[in-house]
Amino acid sequence: MVSPLTSNPFHQVTEHIAEQSHAMAGATIAASAALGCSLGEACVRISAALLEGEEQQFARQRVAARLVEIRRRLQELADEDGATILALAHVQEDRDGQGRRQDRLCQIPLEVGGLAAEAALLLQDFRVLARAARDDLEMAILLLSGTAHAAALLLDSNLRIWPEPLIRLTRFEPELETLRKQLQGIRPVERVRG
């Protein structure tokens, strides 16, 4: 059994992705979103000492705890996507087996995009409480926004490259549209200094 992608040192992960005979876009997007989430989580924790009152501390703890959950799930999805695309590229199986893998490779970007967007929106709402690492918080929001958009683009691509695109379009297009609407709420800053 192949070890999960994210259990390897970072340089091995990047080399593994670069050396494949197939593009590992989904795993790359999920791992990138996990990194953006980590940066945001650090910014939230760094602000802790400067927050005033129980209410602000509770808000910070709630955001930090949810970011931990999102980051861990994104790592799981990076591993799952990497294993699924590898199996799809190399394992010869019946049409139903291929179809199930292709469906999963449509579901994963939806989940990754939704989680990245949720994390970006959490950080965006935390802006008013950020007392330290504000510039870094904005960079985390932009990274998460970018990965959420990339996940939407990946799903859009997957819906069109495999056989029977009309069946998948009917199933996944409404969810993709919901994700796109969620992305409209993310507002990264253009510049960190005016």
DSSP-assigned letter for residue 50 = G
pTM of the model: 0.90
Instruction: Indicate whether 137 belongs to any domain.
Output: yes
Predicted pLDDT at 6:
74
Mean pLDDT value of segment 32-44: 96
Of 59 and 49, the structure prediction assigns the larger pLDDT to 59
Q: What's the structural domain count of the chain?
A: 1
Tens of pLDDT, residues 78-91: 999 999 988 887 76
Mean pLDDT value of segment 146-168: 86
Determine the straight-line distance between the first and last CA of the chain, rounded to whole angstroms. Answer: 52
Instruction: Indicate whether 59 belongs to any domain.
Output: yes
Instruction: Indicate whether 194 belongs to any domain.
Output: no
Q: Identify which of 64, 65, 74, 59 has the alpha carbon closest to the alpha carbon of residue 28.
A: 74
Give the domain range for residue 20. 9-183
Tens of pLDDT, residues 120-153: 999 999 998 887 788 999 999 999 999 999 999 9
CATH, residue 17? 1.20.120.680
Instruction: Indicate whether 135 belongs to any domain.
Output: yes
